[in-house]
Every structure is written in structure tokens, then in C-alpha cells.
């Protein structure tokens, strides 16, 4: 045996338990604005990028607290923005990014109710 203090012959590389707990807690906190964006109708890819960006910023803030002066304002604005902007405003911004012709307007039914029957215009067979 190599040493009496080592139980395994190889070292296992796991992050510290507090780091895993912080990562999980940040993930749960990031899900709140992500759910708000989902209810506004954003695409799954956009929400994933937003949540990943927010999680990385928060995790960088926990791991390297020296960057607080730079990261905290960005993190606060990015986190609160989905709650401040209403779902219709977020959906409008999301639609603005898509290119292509606007959808056609819905077709109006202008036929009078008496002529909509299968019996004909006079109501007789």
C-alpha cells in the first residue's frame, strides 16, 4: 500500500460538495425567469442560451468574487428583465427577429346565415 491514509489507489476528482450545492441552487433560481420566458413564447433554444448565460454568470460570481463590480449589475438586469417586461413585449421582440413575410390575415366569412345552409338560398331542398 502507498500510505495508510489513502483508501483508494487513485484520486477521485469530484468538486467540493458546497460547489455542487451552489451549482444546483443557481440552476433552480435560473429556472424562474426561464419559465417566464417560456410563457412568453420564446423558442427553446433562446431560453436555453439565456438560462446557461445566467447560470454561468452566477457561478462565475460565486467562484471568483473579485469580479462582483462588473458581474452583479449584468446579472441583476438579466435576471429581472423577464419579470419587468410583459409576455406580450417579449413575444413582440422575439417575432421581430424572425425574417419573412407576415402571416396572412384570417379569412372572413361574409356569407349571410340563410345561405350557409346546405339546402340552398331559399331554404327549400
- Gap between the Cα atoms of 73 and 123, Å rounded: 71
Specify burial of residue 23 (Cβ count, 10 A radius: 0-12, 13-18, 19+). middle
Residue 113 has pLDDT above 80, yes or no: no
pLDDT of res. 71: 83
Which residue range forms the structural domain that includes residue 74? 41-97
Domain presence at residue 70:
yes
Cell of 68: 462582483
Structure confidence by residue, pLDDT tens digits, 3-43:
556 665 677 677 788 888 988 999 999 999 998 888 887 88
Cell of 16: 467540493
* Within-domain flag for 92: yes
Overall domain count for the chain: 1
Name the residue with cell 424572425.
98
Question: How does pLDDT run across 35-94, given as a tens digit for each residue?
Answer: 888 888 788 988 899 999 999 998 888 888 887 888 888 888 888 888 887 777 777 766
Amino acid at each position: 500500500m502507498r500510505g495508510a491514509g489513502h483508501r483508494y489507489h487513485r484520486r477521485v476528482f469530484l468538486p467540493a460538495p458546497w460547489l455542487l450545492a451552489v451549482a444546483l441552487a443557481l440552476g433552480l433560481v435560473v429556472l424562474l425567469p426561464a419559465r417566464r420566458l417560456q410563457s412568453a413564447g420564446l423558442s427553446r433554444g433562446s431560453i436555453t442560451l439565456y438560462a446557461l448565460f445566467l447560470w454561468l454568470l452566477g457561478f462565475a460570481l460565486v467562484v471568483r468574487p473579485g469580479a462582483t463590480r462588473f458581474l452583479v449589475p449584468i446579472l441583476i438586469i438579466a435576471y429581472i428583465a423577464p419579470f419587468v417586461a410583459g409576455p406580450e413585449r417579449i413575444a413582440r421582440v422575439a417575432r421581430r427577429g424572425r425574417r419573412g413575410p407576415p402571416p396572412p390575415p384570417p379569412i372572413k366569412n361574409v356569407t349571410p346565415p340563410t345561405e350557409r345552409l346546405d339546402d340552398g338560398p331559399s331554404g327549400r331542398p
